[in-house]
Amino acid sequence: MPKRILQGTVTSTANAQTVTVLIERRFTHPVLKKTVRKTKKYRAHDEHGKFAVGDTVRIQECAPKSKTKRWEVLA
């Protein structure tokens, strides 16, 4: 099964080897027919710590690296 790849913006680099990435998705509401924006934050593994707040990154699913990390940043 292929791994999902998402694109978002780094919002935090406070933890070692971890970045928090904000993913925004847009969809049409089924009843109101209005475009809705939803956001979700993912914690991703950043081995070398080379990403800063505000960077646009791509993250990919991976095996669990810790209690909250299930994604890794693509270089």
Q: Where are the domains of the chain?
A: 5-73
> φ and ψ at 58, to 5 degrees?
-110, 135
pLDDT digits (tens, 9 = 90+) for 13-66: 999 999 999 999 999 999 999 999 999 999 999 999 999 999 999 999 999 999
CA dist 67 to 26, 36, 63, Å? 28, 30, 11
Q: For 5-73, CATH number?
A: 2.40.50.140
pLDDT at 75 exceeding the cut of 90: no
pTM confidence score = 0.89
Measured distance CA(27)–CA(54) in Å, rounded: 24
